[in-house]
Amino acid sequence: MKALTFQGKENISYQTVNDPTLINNKDVIVKVKLTCICGSDLHVFYEREKGLDKGTVMGHEFVGEVVEKGKNVMSLSVGDIVMSPFTTNCGQCFYCKIGLTCRCEKGQLYGWVEKGHGLHGGQAEYVRVPMADSTLEKIPEGVSLEEGLLLGDIMSTGFFCAHQAEIKPNGSYAVVGCGPVGLMSIAGAREYGAEKLFAIDSVEERLAMAKEFGATPINFLKESPVEVIKSYNEGRGADAVLEVVGNKSAGKLAYDLLRPGGIISTVGVCNDQHLAFSPTQAYDKNLTYKVGRCPARHFMDKLIPVVQQKKYNLTSILTHRMKLSEGKKGYDIFANKLDNCLKVVLEP
């Protein structure tokens, strides 16, 4: 089959690799219909996270059709159209049962093979899915393939970020970063009841989209986000900040925006060695800091009704679509934010 593979820093190759095969009786093989490039893929692309084997098939966002299944797969049939979270999960361990499916004791992240062990990704014509009964979900009526892509990762991640922020209708909230996850966090915050909601970025096209999703845009190059937000609530600052960028400057801004006793909810993968504020600073603000990987499989079920109601134009963030064979170009466009790119969809 054809696939996009990791060949080293900033080196993605479109090449022929071995077709995946069933390894366990609970596996299925999915023929990929659509896949996406995610911001998390850039951590691999730029080798911010090291250890990935060369030749690993990239990607963890995909939807497709079940074309082969193991004999112990009970809930799925050949021909089913399915969506997947970005990690596999068993559905039975302690973490799965408490809803923290991203920390499943047997779970794996698609697109991560290290020293020969791991799971290849979905930026390919086919992908093997372990523990398929508890990992995959049939795409229900009223949900498109594109919406299924979003449910499996960035929509769930954005809503998880908003969920952690403990949104209340009379509060003031800020989203730092208006990329795909930031826009989904805005939708999540609105869904959970946020009325005073601000979106911070420097890219005007992204700020315009944030406004469409229901947030007041703030271009931090033109005005002070801290001053703007404090002017809305008697100088206190935001009740919670949703930080989706994952770097020191975004973390520091989140701290500066937050009122004493507030919550910082962060889902951006940060490779810095230290937080942007000290333990003493956290103590002095009585802040609550919530961070971590989204339990996407747990959130998918909860968010299907939101998608079916068509309350938000979620797929508007899918700005670029191209063939899998153009994936190398797709990475360049996405990584460098060319042509106002938010999200690239690839079709095998």
pLDDT in tens, the chain (348 residues): 999 999 999 999 999 999 999 999 999 999 999 999 999 999 889 988 889 999 999 999 999 999 999 999 999 999 999 999 999 999 999 999 999 999 999 999 999 999 999 999 999 999 999 999 999 999 999 999 999 999 999 999 999 999 999 999 899 999 999 999 999 999 999 999 999 999 999 999 999 999 999 999 999 999 999 999 999 988 999 999 999 998 999 999 999 999 999 999 999 888 888 999 999 999 999 999 999 999 999 999 999 999 999 999 999 999 999 999 999 999 999 999 999 999 999 999
Burial (CB < 10 A; 0-12, 13-18, 19+), residue 54, is exposed
CA dihedral (332, 335, 340, 344) in degrees, to 10, reads 80
- pLDDT on residue 47: 85
Interaxial angle between packed helices 180-191 and 154-164, expressed in degrees from 0 to 180 and rounded to the nearest 10: 50
The residue type of 141 is: E
Residue (of 255, 247, 256, 244) closest to 288 by Cα position:
255
Kind and range of the H or E element at 199?
strand 196-201
Q: Which residue has the tokens 């946020």?
A: 194
Q: 295: helix, coil or strand?
A: coil
Kind and range of the H or E element at 183?
helix 180-191
CB 23 within 8 A of CB 71: no
Domains of the chain: 2-153+295-347 (3.90.180.10), 158-291 (3.40.50.720)
Q: What is the DSSP string of 60-113?
A: S-EEEEEEEE-TT--S--TT-EEE--SB---SSSHHHHTT-GGG-TT--BBTEE
User: Which two tokens mark 87?
Assistant: 């990690």
- pLDDT on residue 271: 82
d(Cα 200, Cα 190) in Å, to the nearest integer?
16
- pLDDT on residue 273: 87
Kind and range of the H or E element at 281?
helix 279-285
d(Cα 186, Cα 217) in Å, to the nearest integer?
11
CB 21 within 8 A of CB 73: no
Residue 263, strand partner residues:
240, 288
Kind and range of the H or E element at 307?
helix 296-308
d(Cα 136, Cα 300) in Å, to the nearest integer?
10
d(Cα 25, Cα 280) in Å, to the nearest integer?
52
- pLDDT on residue 272: 86
d(Cα 284, Cα 336) in Å, to the nearest integer?
38
d(Cα 41, Cα 331) in Å, to the nearest integer?
9
CB 206 within 8 A of CB 175: no
User: Which two tokens mark 70?
Assistant: 């193991």
Q: β-pairing, 62-69 with 81-83?
A: antiparallel
- pLDDT on residue 92: 97
- pLDDT on residue 258: 97
